[in-house]
Amino acid sequence: MKVAVVGSGGREHALAACLARTADVVVTPGNPGIPWSTSRPVEELDVDLVVVGPETPLVDGLADRLRAQGRSVFGPGADGAQLEGSKAWMKDVLVAAGVPTAGHGTFDDVAAAEAFLDTMGDLFVIKTDGLAAGKGVLVTSSRAEASAAVREYLSGERFGDAGRRLVIEEGLTGPEVSLLVICDGHRLVPLAPAQDYKRVGTGDTGPNTGGMGAYSPVPGVTSAMVEQILDTAVGPTLRELQRRGIDYRGVLYTGIMLTPAGPKVIEYNVRFGDPETQVLLPRFAGDLAALLQQAANGAMVDDATFNDDAAVTVVCASEGYPGALRTGDPILGLDAARAVPGVQVFAAGVGAGPDGRLVTAGGRVLNVTAVAPTIAQASAAAYTAVGMITWPGMHARADIARFGASNTEETR
C-alpha cells in the first residue's frame, strides 16, 4: 500500500515512521529532517491512502476535495472538522449530545462577556472560537486578566479573526488525559491514553502551548475509565454528528479532565495529538496503514493494540516559544541523541541551513522520544538524549514524566 501523510511536523514524522513498517510512505511537504519528505503536492501523488496531519487543511476542506477526486482519505471533512475549528460549535454539539463538559457562554461583544464573568467563580477560562495553534486558551484566577483578555480577543488584536468570537468556560480542576479514538463514521477504536503537558514551563508555569511533552501509558487511567469516556462522551458525540448528517472518518482526539464529578470533555481535536502521537505510535503494535485505510473506507475491522513498553517525549523548543521566536540556528548533537538506546528524535520545526545541516525553523523544533520498559526509564533516556542537543536559547521542560522530582528547566 502507498500512503501519503500531509503535514510537516513531529507528528507527521511519527506517523510516517509507524506507517512505513507496513506501507510505502511519502510526507508532503514534510521537512528536511523527515526522510520520506516530498515537495510534490498531495493532489499529484499516486497513493492508496491520504492521512491528513494538521487541523488547518481539514477545517479548510482538504479531505472533501480529495474525496471528490475519489481518494481514500483519513481525516474528517470540513463539516466534522468544525469540532476543532469552532469551539462554540463544539460546545453546541456536546450540549446537544448530553456530554459532560464545562458550563459555558459564547460571546462576540464585550459587555455580554463581562456580565458573564460577573456570574463566575474564581477560575476564568477564555478561549478563542477559532484556531489559534493551541495558544488561544487563557486559564486565570485574575478577574483583571480575564477582562483584559476579553478585550484583546474580541478586538482581533491578539488572535485576529479567530478571537472575534470567544467561549468563556467554567474552570474545572483535575488531572487531564488525552484519549485519541479512531473513527470510521460508525465504530470507535480507542488508542492508549496519553498525558500531555500544555504549559511552557517546568512545574506547569507560563502560557499554554501546543504541548511540551507527553507520556503513555497513563498510570491510573484504567480500561474501565476508557470505556466510561467512550460511553459518556465520545459515543454520544459521534451519534450527534451522525444525527447532523456528518460521516466522521478520522481521529477524535478527546481532551478529558478527570474532575471530582467524573470525566468531562475539555476539547476535541480532529487530528492526531502533537506530541501525543510521538508517544502513542512507537508503542503501537498493529498495522497502522491497514487500520487507517479501513477507517477511511468506513469499515474498520481491526482493533488498536499497544505493546507494554512506556514512551516519553520531550519537546525541545526555540527561544521565545510560544511567543516571538529566534530561529535559524544550527541544531547540534542530534546524532549523539539518536544513538541513546531506545531513543528516536522526530523532526518538527526544522529547516535546512546553507551547508545542508538542520537548523531551527519553528517553535517546537524536536521531539525526543524514548521507549523503555517503565515510564521512569523512558523519561531518563529521553532526558539523556535531550542533554546532548543544543542550540542558542533552546529550552525544554525538565519535568516530563518525572513524578515528584523537583527539576530546573533545561535551557542552553
- For ligand GLY, the binding residues (CB under 6 A) are 134, 196, 210-211, 269, 273-274, 276
Q: Whole-number minimum distance, CB 101 to ligand GLY, in Å?
A: 17
Q: Whole-number minimum distance, CB 136 to ligand AMP, in Å?
A: 7
Q: Whole-number minimum distance, CB 350 to ligand GLY, in Å?
A: 19
Residues in Cβ contact with 149 at an 8 Å cutoff, skipping those fewer than 6 apart? 126, 138, 140, 158
Residues of this chain that bind ligand AMP (CB under 6 A): 102, 125, 127, 134, 137, 139, 169-172, 176, 198, 208, 255, 266-267
Q: Which is nearer to ligand AMP, 152 or 170 (CB)?
A: 170
User: Does residue 373 have a cis bond before it (omega within 30 degrees)?
Assistant: no
Is residue 364 within 8 A of residue 348, CB to CB? The reply is yes
279 binds, among ligand AMP, ligand GLY, none (CB under 5 to 8 A by kind): none
Q: Whole-number minimum distance, CB 40 to ligand GLY, in Å?
A: 27
7 binds, among ligand GLY, ligand AMP, none (CB under 5 to 8 A by kind): none
Is residue 275 within 8 A of residue 214, CB to CB? The reply is yes
Q: Which is nearer to ligand GLY, 196 or 410 (CB)?
A: 196
Q: Whole-number minimum distance, CB 255 to ligand AMP, in Å?
A: 5
Angle (deg, nearest 10), helices 143-154 and 110-118: 160
Beta bridge mates, 125: 139, 169
Q: Which is nearer to ligand GLY, 240 or 274 (CB)?
A: 274
> Using CA atoms, how far apart are residues 107 and 114, in angstroms rounded to an integer?
10
Q: Which is nearer to ligand AMP, 176 or 247 (CB)?
A: 176
Q: Which is nearer to ligand GLY, 147 or 208 (CB)?
A: 208
Alpha carbons within 13 angstroms on the beta-carbon side of residue 232 total 15
Is residue 288 within 8 A of residue 273, CB to CB? The reply is no
Q: Which is nearer to ligand GLY, 23 or 314 (CB)?
A: 314
Q: Whole-number minimum distance, CB 269 to ligand GLY, in Å?
A: 5
Q: Which residue is nearest to ligand GLY (CB)?
A: 211
> Using CA atoms, how far apart are residues 112 and 128, in angstroms rounded to an integer?
16
266 binds, among ligand GLY, ligand AMP, none (CB under 5 to 8 A by kind): ligand AMP
Q: Which is nearer to ligand AMP, 142 or 305 (CB)?
A: 142
DSSP codes joined into one string, 250-268: EEEEEEEEEETTEEEEEEE
169 binds, among ligand GLY, ligand AMP, none (CB under 5 to 8 A by kind): ligand AMP
273 binds, among ligand AMP, ligand GLY, none (CB under 5 to 8 A by kind): ligand GLY
Q: H or E element: which one contains 167? A: strand 166-170
211 binds, among ligand GLY, ligand AMP, none (CB under 5 to 8 A by kind): ligand GLY
Q: Whole-number minimum distance, CB 259 to ligand AMP, in Å?
A: 9
Q: Which amino acid is at 204?
A: D
Q: Whole-number minimum distance, CB 273 to ligand GLY, in Å?
A: 4
> Using CA atoms, how far apart are residues 142 and 122, in angstroms rounded to an integer?
8
Q: Which is nearer to ligand GLY, 158 or 271 (CB)?
A: 271
Is residue 23 within 8 A of residue 72, CB to CB? The reply is no
Residues in Cβ contact with 92 at an 8 Å cutoff, skipping those fewer than 6 apart? none
Q: Work out whether strand 249-259 and strand 358-360 pair parallel, antiparallel, or are unpaired.
A: unpaired
